[in-house]
A and B are shown apart, each in its own frame.
Chain A
């Protein structure tokens, strides 16, 4: 890289940091009266963390990094989401990211590799996009599909999407009508509302139509009709799979998915035993610790993930098969028939695992691999100093 180019890139990068700090200011202002360190102290600390380990304002408060009883070295072990693609692109080859990001392509890949995934019944699509199984290319084909006898217990998932946005879960069909039970909550949803859901400006959007997974009774009791998942992060190198962390994600009971960003909770998992620890909710912006689900009131802490060993074995075997993506965030549903891989993430957000375990992930093998590109213009991280 020529010196002029380098200077221009460094300048551009630093302008990016400054703009992010300006965007983060509302977070600091929002929390200034909660018995926290002074505003200026928090702004400076977060600015340092932004530079070291990509901690933006949201990460800073969601992860509880404002706490004065936590040393700075501990705080710098937390990995943030600011321009996360920079550091993930150093680990996972960018041209292979499609295999994880496009959920239809991932489904095909998983089928080819014999990995357990939800049953895919059809794909709605309008353009020349990857499809699999039955293709529902227009309203008529979707209507015909939905009117068939076995069109119940369905889960509509956008093919390209994140944080559970756009997901729709249908339960039983109400006999003699074009209505379904919408889950969770058992409200009614009509055929035209479903069609509207999978369209934008009259064009079919690509959705996977899967058979809805039935959660294990333990989780069904905590949050009925939502298939809660375990998020596990792995790093694979030289045929060895390292589990970087794991967390149980439970929905809020109002949405069909369990993502933390949708108002759900996360629960720490003991990697050895599968025992569940503290329940964390970040609806108010900072972590709140509890022992039971905030909506259903069901106690969680102290229970065990059913089939934890099988789940770990599945993830480790699957990580070896997909070792061309060394770092993967796995979403594994614990169903009444065992663990099923719901999806994978090649640029996973580390927030849920870090907040639940109250521990940063920048340790061990993950830190080592990120250190290889530390301080370069590409990685965007500067971990060496801490």
Chain B
């Protein structure tokens, strides 16, 4: 039976690679430029990288792997997002994934483990869908209205419990006197009570949102992008030797949305792990990296600055990684607030792009590479990095 299934699975896998290469062709055609190698060379190189390290067409251009001054060996150190679940499954047990994926459950765990997280004020949810809730449950529109009408309901952050990439987040500032409306952040637009309710509901049903106290970013970060709590994405890996920091990057919002995700139009700046010094600012607005020394929208200088509370932030991530060692590889989103670092959320299948793009360096080195190599070339991992 095994002898029959294995070739079938292998055939399906090869078909999957073939389909991906065809899908990626549009990236190669769209981003053709006279400075780049020929389209044939790029397609062939990306197909090899897809097989080696899961580099899709999107990854290939986001990481500027078309550059001819980069050796192929250097390029194979970048880890792509193609079927990323496969390789993360070989590190983080699937059964524990829910503890990171569900932001409400993570909040409960963090509370129990004394991991600092934003203050959770309430959770909205549809009463007909029994999903985890914590703190004050808001299950009807009336309950949500009552909560929002309370005087203390200002400077709050709505975060969807199951979404990723910053989708669906809403940040409210202070209440506008005499109205049922708030300043919407960033930008100081106005959002009314009905608009907030419409945001939380879909087709008349409440969706599950965490309502947290909005974090006040550290002054240095507030100066760069006002009204957005920028976070550090730090990746850790726990192995028999202890906690390894795989890489880190600062994510800065574009200033137009409430989050700082790269896929939401934000920019990243690599971080020197030893000192916390910020490297160049990178934007992927044109789908290939563009480098700046200052924030492209606010114009505030970023490169060369030292992140505040850096040592404290690394210590917090390392200590927390030990507490959550049952998920050996974690991508931490840590806000640097005026009260020190706070863990906003964790990712058990973190996108390596922000760290790799920010530092212009692949993460497939050291302990992370070693661990992935243990399952290298098997049907499970989907990587062939050796």
Contacts and interface: CB of A to CB of B under 8 A. Distances in A.
A239 B138 CA distance: 12
A238 B139 CA distance: 10
A109 interface: yes
Interface string B102-114: 0001011111110
Contacts of B133: 321, 323-324
Contact of B96 (A109, A130, A237): A130
A113 B108 contact: yes
B109 A109 contact: yes
16 contacts: A98-B96, A108-B112, A109-B108, A109-B112, A111-B111, A112-B108, A112-B111, A112-B112, A113-B134, A129-B325, A129-B326, A131-B323, A131-B325, A238-B128, A321-B133, A325-B130
Nearest to A98: B95
Interface of A: 93, 95-96, 98-99, 105, 107-113, 128-132, 236-239, 321, 323-326
B131 interface: yes
Contacts of A129: 325-326
Given A109-B109, A112-B109, A238-B127, A128 B134 contact: no
A139 B260 CA distance: 46
A323 B134 CA distance: 11
Contacts of B131: 324
B325 A128 contact: yes
Interface in B125-148: 127-128, 130-134, 139
Given A95-B98, A131-B326, 5 more contacts: A99-B98, A112-B108, A238-B128, A324-B132, A325-B130
A319 to B, nearest CB: 11
Contacts of B47: none
B328 interface: yes
Nearest to B113: A108
Nearest to A325: B130
B130 A111 contact: no
B220 interface: no
A237 B96 CA distance: 26
Interface string B151-181: 0000000000000000000000000000000
Nearest to A236: B130
A107 B109 CA distance: 9
Most buried by B among A95, A129, A321: A95
A323 B113 CA distance: 22
A111 B325 CA distance: 19
Interface in B62-115: 95-99, 105, 107-113
B127 A239 contact: yes
Give the 3 A-B CB pairs with smallest separation, nearest first: A112-B108, A111-B112, A108-B112
Contacts of A325: 130
B238 interface: yes
Contacts of A105: 99, 109
A324 B130 contact: yes
Contacts of B107: 112
Nearest to B91: A128
A346 to B, nearest CB: 12
Interface residues of B, number: 26
Contact of A323 (B95, B111, B112, B130): B130
A236 B113 CA distance: 28
B127 A108 contact: no
B134 A130 contact: no
B128 A132 contact: no
B130 A326 contact: yes
Contact of A99 (B105, B127, B328): B105
Nearest to B101: A95
Contacts of B113: 108, 132
A128 B328 contact: yes
A93 B130 CA distance: 9
B345 to A, nearest CB: 16
Most buried by A among B105, B111, B328: B105
Contacts of A95: 97-98
A238 B128 CA distance: 6
Nearest to B128: A238
A325 to B, nearest CB: 8
Nearest to B114: A111
B130 A108 contact: no
Contacts of B326: 128-131
Contacts of B127: 238-239
A188 B90 CA distance: 44
Nearest to A107: B112
Interface string B204-234: 0000000000000000000000000000000
Nearest to B129: A324
B370 to A, nearest CB: 15
A127 to B, nearest CB: 8
A133 to B, nearest CB: 10
Interface string B320-349: 000101101000000000000000000000
Nearest to A323: B130
Most buried by B among A130, A239, A326: A130
A131 B321 CA distance: 12
A9 to B, nearest CB: 18
A321 B108 CA distance: 11
A326 B95 CA distance: 20
A106 to B, nearest CB: 10
A108 B132 contact: no
Given A132-B112, A238-B127, A239-B139, A112 B98 contact: no
B139 to A, nearest CB: 7
A108 B108 contact: yes
A108 B109 contact: yes
A99 B95 CA distance: 10
A112 B134 contact: yes
Most buried by A among B97, B110, B132, B133: B132
B328 to A, nearest CB: 5
A321 B123 CA distance: 12
Contact of A96 (B98, B109, B238, B325): B98
A324 B130 CA distance: 4
Contacts of B110: 112
Contacts of B112: 107-112, 132
Contacts of B128: 238
A131 B132 CA distance: 22
A93 B95 CA distance: 13
Contacts of A93: 130
A96 B161 CA distance: 15
Contacts of B99: 98, 105
Nearest to A92: B130
Interface string B345-386: 000000000000000000000000000000000000000000
Contacts of A237: 130
B121 to A, nearest CB: 16
Contacts of A238: 127-128
Given A96-B98, A238-B128, A323-B130, A128 B109 contact: no
